[in-house]
Chains A and B, each alone.
Chain A
Amino acid sequence: MELNYSPEDIAFRDEVRAFLDEKLPKDLSAKVKARAHLSKDDMERWHAILNEKGWLAPNWPKKYGGAEWNAVQKHIFEEETAKAGAPRIVPFGLSMLAPVLMAFGSDEQKDHYLPRILNGDDWWCQGYSEPGAGSDLASLKTRAVREGDHYIVNGQKTWTTLGQYANMIFCLVRTDPDVKQQEGISFLLIDMDTPGIEVRPIILLDGVHEVNEVFFDNVKVPVENLVGEENKGWTYAKYLLTHERTNIAGVGYSQAGLESVKRIAKAERANGKPLIQNPHFAARLAQVEIDLMAMATSNMRIISKAAAGQAPGVESSMLKVKGTIIRQELNDLARRAVGPYAMPFPSETVEGDNDPIGPEYAAPVSAAYFNNRKLSIFGGSNEIQRGIIAKVKMGG
């Protein structure tokens, strides 16, 4: 048992810290810490800074321009960037599509798309979910019919995160309706500028345009945009989902969230004393911190297993459930900490460029509380994760 980082790990951590100190733009970290909305440009700016350093793709092998870090290094990077208030790396191209292309894509696809992902030439979005296919993804209906050198795609995707910024979408489509659901699905890369595609915004309950509906009306997609083999898309999608589930615990985000709640609770006063000294509030906060301390170690246990080459199994489902519960609890505490100032919702808050109403930390907390209800819904809902855990453990 060795609970501490090795000297090499610590050296790496210091290197990450020094880099963040020097290169993370202050305006960006201020925005992230204030939970202000990041523009497309903000996200691209941070990507470019990381790319210059060779750190944009921690998962990728060096030969594709990645950092090829081990699991512990990746964890350190995630933890440090979250604590420093770095913008999140937009995952769709970098950590969802790229691993699939590396494993199953053609050489042309790898040569063409991977550098474009690193350089920010393409912005990818994920076209999996449909109105009728959420948890039951395999029931998806968007149809692709082969006609000569093209597929003709018809149907609808939904919940497409940041699809409004994307020029490319990777989609699961049905190529064979007559076989078992999972065996008739293909993985297609589609240029969003193709005629017949329409993107419509969905405004979430916190007023933010974060997701979209994407409609396909006789969209012509060249056959070379098929990844791997026709009707094997489900296998690739499952492979992708295992990548989506890395960093699932969100320890760094929770630690940053905990610090932020503490900051608020020190500034707020209840009955003439700092809120952080209020026994009920303090007890709630301590409870979450205790949970987080244990989860951080659970996370490290799984990471060191992964670093030793063992693929995580149900543990990632466990971390997803626990991690989202903790993050959501912290969001609830932040909301409660600000008292009556949880109620204002000036539209300026959303754009993030006006004098705040009340203390500056109050503006985003209620919106964040509601927005982060998504954490237990997407990426495989917590109910689906619990189902997986039980099924695996009971040998189903």
Chain B
Amino acid sequence: MNFDLTEERQMLQDTLRRYLSDKYDTATRNKIIDSDEGFSAEIWEGLAELGVIGALFTEDQGGFGGAGFDISTVFEELGRAGVVEPMLDTAILGGGLIAALGNDDQKALLEEVIAGGLHLALAHGEPVSRYDLSRVETTAKADGDDIVLDGRKAVVVNAEAAGQLIVSARESGDVDSRDGISLFLVPADAAGLTMRGYPMLAGGRAAEVTLDGVKVPASARLGVAGAGYDALCDVIARADVAIAAEALGAMDTAVELTRDYLTTRKQFGRPIGTFQALAHRYSDLLIEMEQARSAVINAAGHLETDDAARQNASTRNLTARVGRLVAEESIQMHGGIAMTKEYELAHIAKRIVMCDHRFGDADYHLERFIELSAA
């Protein structure tokens, strides 16, 4: 047993933490959130230069990591600083699908991704699909050598910045069938593809994407026709690790800010942390944080095993529950100050809570866990 990070990952953690604490203070980040782009190209470049994107890919894929603990190490630090740059979307989801399914031509895009020159977005969820991964109404129909895509995609994170979108569409089967879903690389400027972009509550941007007779060559298909579902699940398993680790890092910040506040804010002539009513609740947060940390280790450590899905479901359920507790209790123990937009905790709490809405909340993962445990 050894729960220490490897030397490489320790270095990655240290450099990334240092970079973000130098370059990504609250005021800078809040300005980034309010910008038209919703993220900073300069920070993105900086992250690429540090090798943060490369750490999320294996050597075969042109990176130098790509394992569960690489993902958790990177995302915990991104979470700690409340980073809004679209690492999940470009690297884990978009890059992950190209790496898993792409042919040599398609995989060539990864070099650009790792260098920070290309953004990606996964256009999978639809207006009524919620967290259900097999529900795809968007259709892909052959037209000679081309394929025509029609449908609507909902809350496509990072769509506006993406050079290529990975669009899921149904080639066969009914709307809920796991079989028949294909994935296509669609250039953002394809004719018939329109976007309605908007900012998100916890920073970054997304878009509603409409595909109206979008024509792509058959070579735009990633992997085998109709067999996209399993690859989606595998990549979303990696996203689950990333999201849970991001939440963990953000929770760490929330709890630290709370500790600082409890020890410095005075009411009734004494630090409010000396009121046992608050001291015990602060301790409860620390107790639950240890649970969350172990849960993230479980997910990261099992990502490459057969038990990955069940471990993931358990981790996402636990971190969602602890996340809500940490976000709400940290705000409460701060009082009014935590309600202000400028204060670091306000953003951090939003990041934590909004993790619920990407690939499933506590209940969704509880159901998954029950189903997988029974199997």
Contact = CB atoms under 8 A, between A and B. Distances in A.
A36 interface: no
A272 interface: yes
B366 A280 contact: yes
A280 B367 CA distance: 8
B324 A332 contact: yes
Interface in B279-335: 324, 328, 331-332, 335
Contacts of A339: 130-131, 357, 361
Contact of B339 (A268, A366, A373): A373
Contacts of B266: 132
Contacts of B366: 280
A61 interface: no
Nearest to B277: A383
A346 interface: yes
Given A159-B336, A383-B278, A336 B155 contact: no
Interface residues of B, number: 52
A306 interface: no
Interface stretch (B53-61, B110-118, B199-207): B199-207
A166 B147 CA distance: 61
Interface string B172-213: 000010000000000000000000101111100010100000
B267 A272 contact: no
Contact of A336 (B157, B268, B363): B363
A264 to B, nearest CB: 12
Given A339-B131, A346-B199, A139 B357 contact: no
Contacts of A345: 198-201
| Interface hub of A269, A328, A382 (most chain B Cβ within 10 A) | A269
A370 B330 CA distance: 13
A281 B361 CA distance: 11
Given A280-B363, A341-B154, A344-B201, A370 B349 contact: yes
Interface stretch (A114-122, A203-211, A223-231, A254-262): A203-211
B346 interface: yes
Interface in B112-141: 125, 127-128, 130-132, 135
A374 B339 CA distance: 7
B155 A340 contact: yes
A165 to B, nearest CB: 19
Contacts of B358: 340, 343
Interface in A373-396: 373-374, 376-378, 381-383, 386-387
Contact of A343 (B130, B275, B357, B364): B357
A374 B336 CA distance: 7
A386 B332 CA distance: 14
A205 B127 contact: no
Contact of B363 (A202, A278, A346, A369): A278
A136 interface: yes
A343 B155 contact: yes
B354 interface: yes
Given A135-B268, A370-B350, A386-B277, A357 B196 contact: yes
Chain A, interface residues (CB within 8 Å), range: 35 or more
B357 A270 contact: no
B132 A270 contact: yes
Nearest to B278: A383
A271 interface: yes
A313 interface: no
A383 B127 CA distance: 41
Contacts of A278: 363
B155 A205 contact: no
Contacts of A367: 201
Nearest to B175: A272
A381 B127 CA distance: 39
Given A134-B267, A202-B340, A343-B206, A369 B154 contact: no
Contact of B277 (A159, A378, A387): A387
B125 A340 contact: yes
Contacts of B157: 343
Nearest to A369: B353
A182 to B, nearest CB: 12
Contact of B354 (A343, A373, A378): A343
Given A278-B363, A341-B154, A383-B278, A347 B199 contact: yes
Given A342-B357, A387-B277, A358 B154 contact: yes
Contacts of A317: none
A163 B268 CA distance: 27
Given A357-B208, A370-B350, A205 B196 contact: no
Contacts of A132: 266
Contact of B130 (A129, A205, A269, A280): A269
B257 to A, nearest CB: 14
A278 B208 CA distance: 26
Nearest to A158: B336
26 contacts: A134-B336, A135-B267, A139-B267, A139-B268, A205-B347, A205-B349, A207-B341, A270-B130, A271-B132, A280-B366, A281-B363, A284-B363, A336-B356, A339-B131, A340-B131, A340-B357, A343-B157, A343-B200, A343-B202, A343-B354, A345-B200, A345-B201, A347-B199, A370-B201, A370-B350, A373-B338
The 10 closest A-B pairs by CB, nearest first: A345-B201, A205-B346, A136-B267, A346-B198, A280-B363, A339-B130, A203-B341, A340-B155, A342-B357, A136-B268
Given A204-B340, A339-B357, A370-B349, 8 more contacts: A134-B267, A205-B343, A343-B202, A343-B354, A345-B198, A366-B353, A367-B201, A369-B353
